Amino acid sequence: MENLNNKEAMEMEFAPDAFEFTQLDERIFDKKFETKAIGYFGDAIRRFVRNKSSVVAFAIFVLIILFSIFAPIFSKYDPYYIDVNISLYPPKIPGLAKLGIFDGTRKYKVEAKYITTISDPRLADMKDEEYSKYFFIEYIRNFDSLEEIEEAKYEETFDGEVFYFVDIKYDIYARSAAPRWLKDVTHAKYLELKEEERIVVNENGEEMIVANTFLGDYYERNPQQLPPGKTPQDFYTYKVYVKGFEETPPHYFGTDISGRDLWTRLWMGTRTSLLIGLFVAVITITVGVIWGSISGYYGGNVDLIMERFTEVLGGIPWIVIMILVKMFLSGKVPSLILVGLSLVLTSWIGTASMVRSQMYRYKGREYVLASRTFGASDFRLIFKHILPNALGTIVTGTILIIPSAIFFESSVAYLGLGFDSSTLSIGNLLDAGRASGIVQHPYLTIFPSVIISILMISFNLFGNGLRDALNPSLRGAEE
């Protein structure tokens, strides 16, 4: 009874038209997200940026790429131009000279009697061989006068004979502005110098030159053998004693044994090394993906045979592969391809086996089965369904191929198995530095070493950061 009464009371209190439908035709179950969804790559970038060391490494890496592109373009030196008169100039960077580094000086231990002033009258008649023994006080940076040299010299005895030595810091660049002997001067250049009255004339009125006319005289006697369009004089070479030129402009990283600018050569070499790294990575990934896909997707006997093949190939040490490729193809293909090929041959197996294991992981999944039921071809299943899912793992597994290719290029260049010597690469520069003497001219090896070290460190940090960022299993795991 009471219930009924209640019901009646309710009906009394709330009239039906007091209610209103909040929704009638729209189906809304949940509140819409107001934040934006973060996709896989968005998330990867977000996590990569959070990793400070990787970002710094990436910035350095980009900087190196920019330098390797633009430094040779804006350099005023031709990396291949040979000038023996500026052979082995030490590095000189104008801004840093005040700090006492890279100031274009070289240390010498010389006999005190060979130090003189530039105005020494004895110099006027000297031949090149004798003249080049002398050092001038004007360009010595750690002593100011000949008297100081006298005080600083010390005595050493060899075979009972006493010599007086002194350690000096000699400014090679300033020295280039003083009168000096020019070597390997051509006839045309000689005439030019004569025109400009640069050649020093001694008191007897003779020009200070040493002419090598051997080849020219030969053609003079046998004019029929003269190459067309040449005169015998074109084959003369001179050593010429010239008055001071302008000071040689600074070479930031110095010059090599042939007087070529190391700064320009090094960035050109970096360019080659980066390109070979990229080239090897692309080929390796292509070959590895195709091989690994076929081996992993089909499995069974195909897999067995392909696996045995990679096992044998993987068992061959890389040095053996390099040597065989070199012995077999040397001279037949450009050295860039030769080195690239031997690097690919040693690195694709790792990629292939990784792709293979990814294939095994995904090929039994339901979505692959579903697609196959619909009649998808094997090709489509591999490249459209399985590979995109394995992409993250494959990319992170292969990103470090680039630095390792650069590293291997340098190693094989040291072994004489790298590019031919006309190609500029970091490895070839390092080997050239070794050949010029690591201890005697350290800057020739140090600069390429520093660049390759920075490249390796930044690439490894960057690669590690990228791997962590792209690794799906670490998503949202940190903090």
Partner 1 sequence: MIRYTLKRIVLMFVTLFIILTLCYILIQLTTSFEKRVTVYRMSDPKLTQEDAEAYGRAHGWDDPIPVKYFNWLKGIIKGDWGVSVVKEVGQNPWVILTRFIPFTMSINIWSLIISVPLGFLFGIIAALRKNKPLDYLISFFVIIFISVPSFVFVTFLMINATSMGLPIQFRAADQANWKDYVIPIMALSFGPIATLTRYTRAELTEVLTSEYLLLARTKGLNKFQATVRHALRNSMVPLVPLIIGNFISIMFGSLVIERIYGVKGVGGILLEAISETNPDHDLAMAALAFYTIIGLATTLVVDLSYGIVDPRIRMGARK
Positions in the binding site for partner 1 (CB under 8 A): 311-312, 315-320, 323-324, 326-328, 330, 403, 407, 410-411, 414-416, 430, 434, 438-439, 442, 445-446, 449, 452-453, 456-457, 459-461
User: Strand, helix or coil at 142?
Assistant: coil
User: Strand, helix or coil at 400?
Assistant: coil
In the bound state with partner 1, the residue whose beta carbon lies nearer, of 306 and 368, is: 306
In the bound state with partner 1, the residue whose beta carbon lies nearer, of 12 and 327, is: 327
For residue 27, the tally of other CB atoms under 10 A from its CB is 5
User: Strand, helix or coil at 254?
Assistant: coil
In the bound state with partner 1, the residue whose beta carbon lies nearer, of 97 and 319, is: 319
In the bound state with partner 1, the residue whose beta carbon lies nearer, of 389 and 460, is: 460
Q: How far is the CB of 328 from partner 1 (least distance, A)?
A: 6
Rounded CA-CA distance 476/472 in Å is 9
Provide the CA 375 distance to its chain's centre, in angstroms.
50
Rounded CA-CA distance 253/234 in Å is 34
In the bound state with partner 1, the residue whose beta carbon lies nearer, of 223 and 416, is: 416
The residues with which 212 forms a beta bridge, in sequence order, are: 237
Q: How far is the CB of 89 from partner 1 (least distance, A)?
A: 19
Structure tokens at 391: 């992409």
Q: How far is CA 38 from CA 42, 96, 151, in A?
A: 6, 48, 76
Q: Which residues contact 256 (CB under 8 A, 6 or more apart)?
A: 87, 88, 262, 265, 432, 436, 444
Strands 154-158 and 237-242: unpaired
Q: How far is the CB of 331 from partner 1 (least distance, A)?
A: 8
In the bound state with partner 1, the residue whose beta carbon lies nearer, of 69 and 324, is: 324
Rounded CA-CA distance 53/65 in Å is 18
In the bound state with partner 1, the residue whose beta carbon lies nearer, of 226 and 456, is: 456
For residue 99, the tally of other CB atoms under 10 A from its CB is 9
Q: How far is the CB of 221 from partner 1 (least distance, A)?
A: 34
Rounded CA-CA distance 384/386 in Å is 6
